[in-house]
Structure 1
Amino acid sequence: MRVVVIGSGIVGAGAAYHLSRRGAAVTVVDAGCQGGATRAGAGIVCPWVDHPEDDDWYHLTREGARAYPALVEELGEDIGYAKVGALLVAEDPVDLEPVRALLRRRHAAAPEMGDVVDVDTPTELFPPLSDGLSALLVPGAARVDGCSVRDALLRAAVARGAEVRTGVATLTPDGRVLLHRADDTGEGTRWSPAAAGAPADEGEHTSWRQAAPLSAAPAPVTPASPEALRLTDEGVPVEADAVIVAAGAWTGEVCRPLGVELPVFPRRGQILHATMEGVDTAWWPIILPRTGPYLLGFPDSRVVVGATVEDVGFSPRVTMGGLDEVIEAGLRVAPGLFSATVTETRVGLRPVYAPGRALIGPLTDRVVVATGLSAYGLTAGPFTGGIAAALALGEAPPLDITPYAPPRIGL
């Protein structure tokens, strides 16, 4: 069976991987658009603290986290995955009680989170933290390197015969794929959805992390760059029996020729990477305050701090204001990072489906869509790609997709 996957982020790479394992002939199309979310993801895998009032969202992220150990074994290479635990921190211990109750309620169905315990001196686990913070340790939480995961998935797919092509894929009204050359900037053609409306807040105000945008500036409700899709040629047909659209925040534009308006929007996140020379940060736990920022350590004395939560349309830029927000909030939680060296900044456009949850399911008999993971792409991306692969092959998915399914065209 021939399947085209539009999008080479972590969801598209996951789909290609699972398709190739089942013997499908896979073509992945990579447009090279700036602002892809995978590269800018911090890499937190700790689903049990979020979506307390939305079991469907939670089940998707929980299963995504649960699938990682087997995926690591299958890939057989280092993807930056490590169970380092997560410290939930707050200045007032009373603020930890709601999440403690949530974890207690979810533990029986998710024992992989480990036994949650109080930590009297969190600075012993994450030395730069502010003194006097109260903390809960969730030992089952893990961190992962998003780029390493995506690249490993694509390498494994290519090793089984998958092809990765650079260019812009568009759909015809009947679901055929046309491949266009990238524009002359060398960065791939960029486009923005013209669908009106603002993204929902996804209930993030009730989740432990990323409770609200850091910026106090008003958020625009329409894309910042409403240009039409710029194409340099008429396109070359790519033969396919099925198509998976995993184009992240650009998914709505890709699917528009089918006659459907999918309100998928970009939500910008800026993060920074810093190094602490001579300090072993590889096994530091993830730090999750009640509201941003999060912090986590990686090998090579690296600490990641992020992220902004900005509804500014298709504007994949690192800004002075965004970095100021991240740095100020990060130092408030971990003043010991004051002398750390800022080595890199990253920005990504997280795909948000306006109705709230992820968007996964068939649009037509031959086109499947998989996007809308927002801040949980690295947690649930490979698993979501597996769901899309099963749907494209006519198999039963590993999770009931009814809560995430788009409206079927023509029905």
Structure 2
Amino acid sequence: MTKIAIIGGGIVGATAAFYLVQTKDNQVTVFDEPHGQATRAAAGIISPWLSKRRNQKWYRLANAGTQLYPQLVIDAQLDQRAYHEVGTLITRKTDVKLDELWQLAQARLQSAPQMKNIVRWSPQKINAELPFFKPDIFAGGVFVTGGARVDGKQLVNQLLRHANVQLVKQHAQIKRQQTQILVNQQPFDQIIIAGGARAPELVQQLGFNLLVRPQKGQLIELADNDLAITGNMPVVMPEGERDIIPVGKHQLMIGATHENDQGFDLTASTQVINDLLKSGQSVITGLTESMITNVRVGTRAYTDDFAPFFGQLPALKNVWIASGLGSSGLTTGPIIAKLMAQSINGENVDLTPFTLPVTNYLSSIDRKA
């Protein structure tokens, strides 16, 4: 039996636990401290195909993540609260920009059949399908039918429940003791560090400095009977504004922010809440402050190149790490977790198409390791 410790019960940790318990010889313990966790505060959009990011490794990873989700939904019996394929609408304010977006969508569709169909929506179509928007504020949009929305908290809760692993809700400490690596004084055969922005604290205990920084993210939840919204409406990525995520009858979310230099502060900011509301008001009719029902706040992990990384720590072949997922964590996290789980289970998996070496994100190494 292989004893495996996973430090972090967010998107990477929960998905890795799910895949690792599929092998009967694995005994998995998840050390989860959910306070401030980025995943549980996140509402994600699974639609990376029209991003203009030039990092090809990131795009391969994100594209592979979208391919994984439909099967993960079946295998883990995820319901629509966790993952719902409602489509995504990306809008533009001018015909020129809309033409450019349409051409990009057509090109990306060739290598991403999971996009399913792409449809060009006119202003009239947008107003007909999404009556809560102010009329004629967009030149149009590109609707991607394969896009989906994800609720991070629902997703990890359902994955962990289905995995039926040992869940330890406490802060994890990791240290070397001669040839062993201990987590909370217990020896394990394999360890996955999936602590997000807290990963540097853990890695430092093993003699490394990790180039990962925290980034605060906030989003607001709103509900009102006057909001003409259903849970089957697509997620909207309006040009120049925050994402709009319909989540149920008369309910939506707006966000999220990307706030640097806030450390691990989880205080909801009045200024940020007002900015998010103002962004929503610029495109939605009748939106008011009284409709805000909740504010979600979490801390993401970011790297200087804004790219996720994952793999083994050098000289510690039984210690794996994944961090730096940033705002695309709900898209890239599950595929990262699956690739690491496959590697731990002895499969020959090539990670190089998807990530730079972990050593690229270490500022110094304990050469005695």
On the 8 A contact 1:82/1:142 being kept in 2, the answer is yes
Establish whether residue 369 from structure 1 lines up as the match of residue 321 from structure 2.
yes
Structure 1 unaligned spans of 5+: 180-236
Q: Cα deviations across residues 215-255 of structure 1 (Å, max 9, x unaligned)?
A: xxxxxxxxxxxxxxxxxxxxxx2221010000011011111
On the 8 A contact 1:367/1:392 being kept in 2, the answer is no
Distance change in 2, residues 1:31/1:177 (3 Å): farther
Partners of 1:396 and 1:245 lie apart in 2 by 21
Establish whether residue 247 from structure 1 lines up as the match of residue 195 from structure 2.
yes
Judge which range, 59-68 or 347-356, deviates more: 347-356
Give 1:261's aligned amino acid: N
Among 113, 116, 141, the residue aligned to 2:115: 113
Among 30, 33, 37, the residue aligned to 2:32: 30
In structure 2, the partner of 1:85 is 87
In structure 2, the partner of 1:203 is none
On the 8 A contact 1:292/1:307 being kept in 2, the answer is no
The RMSD of aligned alpha carbons is 2.1
Matches within 5 A, 1:310-349: 310-311=259-260, 312-338=262-288, 341-349=291-299
Shift of 1:313: 1.8
How many residues are treated as equivalent by the alignment?
350
In structure 1, the partner of 2:74 is 73
SS in 1 for 2:98: helix
In structure 2, the partner of 1:94 is 96
Partners of 1:21 and 1:276 lie apart in 2 by 43
TM-score normalized by the length of structure 2:
0.89
Partners of 2:287 and 2:230 lie apart in 1 by 12
On the 8 A contact 2:32/2:171 being kept in 1, the answer is yes
Among 177, 180, 183, the residue aligned to 1:178: 183
**Residue identity (%):** 30
Partners of 1:166 and 1:260 lie apart in 2 by 25
Partners of 1:323 and 1:282 lie apart in 2 by 23
Shift of 1:332: 0.8
Partners of 1:286 and 1:3 lie apart in 2 by 37
Matches within 5 A, 1:246-285: 246-277=194-225, 279-285=228-234
Shift of 1:399: 5.0
On the 8 A contact 1:79/1:148 being kept in 2, the answer is no
Partners of 2:148 and 2:161 lie apart in 1 by 23
Shift of 1:354: 2.3
In structure 2, the partner of 1:144 is 150
Give 2:298's aligned amino acid: G
Q: Cα deviations across residues 264-312 of structure 1 (Å, max 9, x unaligned)?
A: 1111111011113274511111110233300011124320111111102
Partners of 2:348 and 2:102 lie apart in 1 by 35
Judge which range, 391-400 or 110-119, deviates more: 391-400
On the 8 A contact 1:361/1:401 being kept in 2, the answer is no
Shift >4 Å, 4+ stretches: 408-411
Partners of 1:63 and 1:51 lie apart in 2 by 17
Establish whether residue 168 from structure 1 lines up as the match of residue 171 from structure 2.
yes
Give 1:137's aligned amino acid: F
Q: Cα deviations across residues 33-89 of structure 1 (Å, max 9, x unaligned)?
A: x32101221221101022441211011111111111111111224142222111111
SS in 1 for 2:6: strand
Establish whether residue 288 from structure 1 lines up as the match of residue 237 from structure 2.
yes
SS in 2 for 1:337: coil
Partners of 2:108 and 2:183 lie apart in 1 by 46
Q: Cα deviations across residues 113-154 of structure 1 (Å, max 9, x unaligned)?
A: 123222112122221212211222111111122111101110
Partners of 1:402 and 1:171 lie apart in 2 by 27
Partners of 1:339 and 1:166 lie apart in 2 by 35
Give 2:156's aligned amino acid: R
